[in-house]
A and B are shown apart, each in its own frame.
Chain A
Amino acid sequence: MPAGHGLRSRTRDLFARGFRKKGYINLTTYLRTYKIGDYVDVKVNGAVHKGMPHKFYHGRTGRVWNVTKRAIGVEVNKQVGNRIIRKRIHVRVEHVQPSRCEEEFKQRKIKNDQLKAEAKAKGVVISTKRQPEGPKPGFMVEGATLETVTPIPYDVVNDLKGGY
Chain B
Amino acid sequence: MATQLSSRLFHKIKQGGTRWFYSYNRCIVSDKQSLSKHLKREVHDIEQVSSQCPSPWMLQAGVCLIRLPLIEEDLSEFQKRYISLKEQMEYENSILNEWELEKIKQTQLMNDIESGKRDASEMDFKVSKQDYEDDYNQAFKEFTESTTELDLNDADFKNINRRPKDYLVLISKQKLGNDTVWMLPTEEWQEEENLRQSAERALTSHCGTLVDASFVSNAPSGFYKYKFPKNARTDAYVGAKLFIYNAFVPRVSETQSTATFNLDIDLNKMLDYAWVAKDEMRSFLKPKYSKAIDEIIF
Task: Decide if A and B are genuine partners.
Answer: no
